[in-house]
Structure 1
Amino acid sequence: MRKVPLGTTIAYGLPGLGAGYMYLLMSLYVMKFSTDVLLIAPAVMGVIFSVSRIWDAVSDPIAGYLSDRTTFKFGRRRTWMLLSFIPISFGFLAVFSPPESMQGSSLDLWMMIAILSFYSAITLFNVPHMALGAELSEDYHERTRLFGVRHIGFTLGSILSLVSMSLLISEENSPTGDVRELAGNLAFFAVAAMSLMIFFSVSRLKENPEFQNRVNKNPFKAFRDVWVNPHARILIIVLFIENLGGAVIGVLTLYVTQYIVEAPAWAPLIIFAYMLPSALSVPLWIPLSRRFGKIRLWVFSLALTGISFGGIFIIPFLDSVTDRLIVMFIGAALGGMASGCGGAIGPSVKGDVIDYDEYLTGERKEGSYFAALNFVFKSATGIMLLVTGFVLQFSGFIPNQPQTMEVKIALISLYGLVPLVFYSLGAYLLYKKFKFGEKEHAAIKQQIQARV
């Protein structure tokens, strides 16, 4: 095993800090920012988020294939990572700094364009970045460490965004607060930091020139190869089911804490109780994956996630705020531990499946694979965000007002029962159908090396 140098590992994981900050703020706060501050209808925002995530899913394969086919001397991954900082900056600033004079349909259109622009731009960074992680090491277990460090960076960025969310929520509750000005200032600092992290990363990372230009010129064949790969096909199905269950968790956390737990000030700490175990548990999962196998551990993490959020379903039926908070904190902590496992092992397994494609085709198309798998993830997310927006709209949800029990049941069913069902189903399918472990990976790598 050739261990990836620590400096390379840090340079790879560092931009995850900025990406994690932006993703969490987009996932957890923009829906609430739009409905409660900008006063855009929940159904409109549900449509906007659904369209944006579906478009984001469509743009992933484009970005992945273009990255695979890039032959610049600077690198097929680093080139796109570097170029991405400009549109990321403009898109993120536009989301949190809409002109105050805008109202009605013009504001709806602004937010739609801004959100679409941000997710398109972050794709230009994220797909090549994930693909580069699979290329930096071809070792079965070293990949888990590499992606584990990336997950830690991503999670620490998410934790930093909780500070921003806490400030924004406090500003909302202040009689003299100006949420829009604060959101714009925070967005400016975020894009400046993200740009510096991208510059540092691309200046320190190196790419393997032997992997360049080893992909079919026909993009449809490249993505057909993903589906033909039997192990990738199982992953696609599992990831789609998993994300049908997980998509609503992020966007509804603030709603659940405010309208069901009735303790909105605790929302950042509840999310922190999820994020901290997610980051701190990674060093635990990496050696456990060597002992018990990556697939078994991933199955366990999916099941644990479903159980963690399924238990939260009882919250509307608890009488005291204290009891509801205890259940939320327990569910968040257990779900966070499971997330640490999935965040490190999931991308590592995807890298192994890409090696199997090299065994079948002789090509190296990490970008196409991560793009195709992201397409599945984001399509499922788009579907569930659309459902969430309409459930809020037609269950009788009224912003900034106490909710009826019918609304609370609708919210907690999306937040608790839906993850329980879909994560459990995903765990079952992964356990029963995915048959590409360490021995199988070693066998195909041996045959690939024998061809050289």
Structure 2
Amino acid sequence: MASAPQSPDAHRVPGRMVLAYGAPAIGAGYMYLLLGLYVMKFSTDVLLIAPAVMGLIFSASRIWDAVSDPLVGYLSDRTRSRWGRRRTWLVASIVPIAGAFIMVFAPPDALEGGALIAWMAVAIIGFYSAMTVFFVPHLSLGAELSTNYHERSRLFGMRHAFYTFGAILSLVSFYFLIQAEQQGPEQARGLALQLAVGTSLVMSALIVFAGIQLREPAEYQGRIDANPFKAFKDVWHNPHARLLIVVTFIEHIGSAAIGVLTLYVAQYVVGAPGLAPLFILCYMVPSTISVPLWIPLSRRFGKVRLWMFSMLLTGVSFGAMFALPFIDSLLAKSIYISVAAVFAGLAAGAGGTISPSVQGDVIDYDEYVTGERKEGSYFAAWNFVHKGGMGVMLLLTGFVLQFVGFVPNVPQTMTVQIAMVTLYGLFPLVCYLIGAALFSRFSLDEQAHGEIRRELDRRNAASRAAGDAAPGAA
């Protein structure tokens, strides 16, 4: 095979560095799940803010992402520091992440109406902005720690497993938050604040640990054009990146519906809000424990084929959720959604492991064409469309729920239930089918990447032989 020289041990990253790279994802997974799955419900059912208003807030945060994501990506690429381009930004994200996350769950009791809405808008937009400062450099660093086609899957597989493990830990918090809601809004507010403070402290410690343990390739610094518009023009003109941008946007419109509506479906369709953590657990556990399975399978069948398979399996698994309102028994509904969640979780394990690894390969193609290393600009683009898809879905969900007559904390009509499972099941199915069809055109497989990698290695060897000529050429 053309890429045979890239053996599994080539450019292998030490285990301690793989663990250090993945560690902050535990806190990130916890925070994102708590915000993505609970804040909409917390805002509508505890703070009594209209769903459409919350949809507008989340959409506004995505509009701001159109500025913040590319800015952080480009500035991260341009950073020069003895700490490296990425670790500097990781450490800088600690205080804003902690402050904004606590703010989301700590609106003063005296606030109401427009003042409360303004508080939540600042908190939510601030949190996602702070997470951009962390996520874009962190993803970029993963692509830089190894140039090996399959070793990147190991790095990003560990990151995905840790991220999902953090999400699993948050299920305990979900259980207690749901119980607190039954006791009243004051209890829910108090518990949410305690959890936010504790999580922020842990996340800060994990980022510091990663910053101390990880080492960046110094030769990547200074290898990007001074013109930011050229950097993002290169991203769009990269045919492989352009296809991934479109596929990622479509895919994450569908996955966002899953995140936003799980608690609503558990309470208002299944009729068992207390089982929501169990349903999520049925999704998260297979997603985490299947990572060691997907890495060797990607070697056998190829990363591109495996990612396409994960899209199809995810779409079918969630498409099956449309049947939930038509099942009479609570037990039957619970078993049905749990089984579907297991299959969706298995698919998510493949997607979470393979997709950023493929994105790293696309960045190598950019270096092959331009001679630059701009992981930050690329992952900023993908991070933006990821969040953009979620923003579109949050806006759509808020307006659909309000349009069909959703009323919080009461039994819902069949019309509302069907609207929920349409967004939760059929819509993701359509999105993933379209995404898989488009991704079938992706051509940067292992053989093509191996040829690119060998040419880049040849260039780098020539630059090292030339000594000080390399920085001038960059």
TM-score, structure 2 normalization: 0.94
Instruction: Specify whether residues 72 and 320 from structure 1 end up closer, same or farther in structure 2 by C-alpha distance, changes over 3 A only.
Output: same
1:441 is aligned to 449
Instruction: Specify whether residues 58 and 248 from structure 1 end up closer, same or farther in structure 2 by C-alpha distance, changes over 3 A only.
Output: farther
CA distance in 1, matches of 2:370, 2:271: 55
2:236 is aligned to 227
1:27 is aligned to 36
Following TM superposition, by how much is the alpha carbon of 1:73 offset from its aligned partner in structure 2, in angstroms?
1.4
For 1:341-380, list aligned pairs within 5 A: 341-380=350-389
CA distance in 2, matches of 1:195, 1:121: 13
CA distance in 2, matches of 1:54, 1:335: 29
AA of the residue aligned to 1:326: I
CA distance in 2, matches of 1:176, 1:403: 21
Q: Determine if contact 1:234/1:434 at 8 Å carries over to the other structure.
A: yes
Following TM superposition, by how much is the alpha carbon of 1:177 offset from its aligned partner in structure 2, in angstroms?
6.4
1:280 is aligned to 289
2:159 is aligned to 150
AA of the residue aligned to 1:10: L
Following TM superposition, by how much is the alpha carbon of 1:58 offset from its aligned partner in structure 2, in angstroms?
3.1
SS class of match (1:434): coil
The answer on 1:118 being equivalent to 2:118 is no
For 1:132-147, list aligned pairs within 5 A: 132-147=141-156
CA distance in 1, matches of 2:185, 2:372: 59
AA of the residue aligned to 1:367: G
Q: Determine if contact 1:278/1:337 at 8 Å carries over to the other structure.
A: yes
AA of the residue aligned to 2:53: V
2:458 is aligned to 450
AA of the residue aligned to 1:349: V
Identical pairs, percent: 60
Cα displacement string for residues 219-239 of structure 1 (whole angstroms, at most 9, x for unaligned residues): 110001011111111111111
Q: Determine if contact 2:310/2:350 at 8 Å carries over to the other structure.
A: yes
AA of the residue aligned to 2:455: Q
CA distance in 1, matches of 2:290, 2:348: 9
AA of the residue aligned to 2:84: G
SS class of match (2:426): helix
SS class of match (2:107): coil
Work out which of the residue numbers 172, 177, 183 in structure 2 matches 1:163: 172
* Runs of 5+ consecutive residues of structure 2 not aligned to the other structure: 1-9, 463-474
Following TM superposition, by how much is the alpha carbon of 1:450 offset from its aligned partner in structure 2, in angstroms?
2.1
Q: Determine if contact 2:27/2:163 at 8 Å carries over to the other structure.
A: yes
CA distance in 1, matches of 2:306, 2:38: 31
Cα displacement string for residues 72-113 of structure 1 (whole angstroms, at most 9, x for unaligned residues): 111110000001000001100000011010001100000000
Work out which of the residue numbers 213, 222, 230 in structure 2 matches 1:213: 222
Cα displacement string for residues 268-321 of structure 1 (whole angstroms, at most 9, x for unaligned residues): 010011000000000000000000000000000000000000001000011111
Superposition RMSD on alpha carbons, in Å? 1.0
The answer on 1:100 being equivalent to 2:129 is no
Following TM superposition, by how much is the alpha carbon of 1:331 offset from its aligned partner in structure 2, in angstroms?
1.2
1:193 is aligned to 202
- Of 118-127 and 373-382, deviating more is 373-382
- Of 229-238 and 167-176, deviating more is 167-176
1:306 is aligned to 315
CA distance in 2, matches of 1:233, 1:365: 15
TM-score, structure 1 normalization: 0.99
For this pair of structures, how many residues does the alignment match? 451
Q: Determine if contact 1:58/1:375 at 8 Å carries over to the other structure.
A: no
CA distance in 2, matches of 1:331, 1:57: 34
Following TM superposition, by how much is the alpha carbon of 1:414 offset from its aligned partner in structure 2, in angstroms?
0.3
CA distance in 2, matches of 1:449, 1:88: 38
Instruction: Specify whether residues 91 and 205 from structure 1 end up closer, same or farther in structure 2 by C-alpha distance, changes over 3 A only.
Output: same
AA of the residue aligned to 1:440: A
The answer on 1:330 being equivalent to 2:339 is yes
Work out which of the residue numbers 54, 67, 80 in structure 1 matches 2:63: 54
Instruction: Specify whether residues 370 and 175 from structure 1 end up closer, same or farther in structure 2 by C-alpha distance, changes over 3 A only.
Output: closer
2:181 is aligned to 172
Q: Determine if contact 1:57/1:378 at 8 Å carries over to the other structure.
A: no
Following TM superposition, by how much is the alpha carbon of 1:3 offset from its aligned partner in structure 2, in angstroms?
1.1
Following TM superposition, by how much is the alpha carbon of 1:209 offset from its aligned partner in structure 2, in angstroms?
0.6
Q: Determine if contact 2:46/2:185 at 8 Å carries over to the other structure.
A: no
CA distance in 1, matches of 2:26, 2:445: 30
Instruction: Specify whether residues 176 and 359 from structure 1 end up closer, same or farther in structure 2 by C-alpha distance, changes over 3 A only.
Output: closer
Cα displacement string for residues 11-34 of structure 1 (whole angstroms, at most 9, x for unaligned residues): 000000000000000000000000
Following TM superposition, by how much is the alpha carbon of 1:374 offset from its aligned partner in structure 2, in angstroms?
1.2
AA of the residue aligned to 1:180: R
AA of the residue aligned to 2:77: D
1:8 is aligned to 17
1:396 is aligned to 405
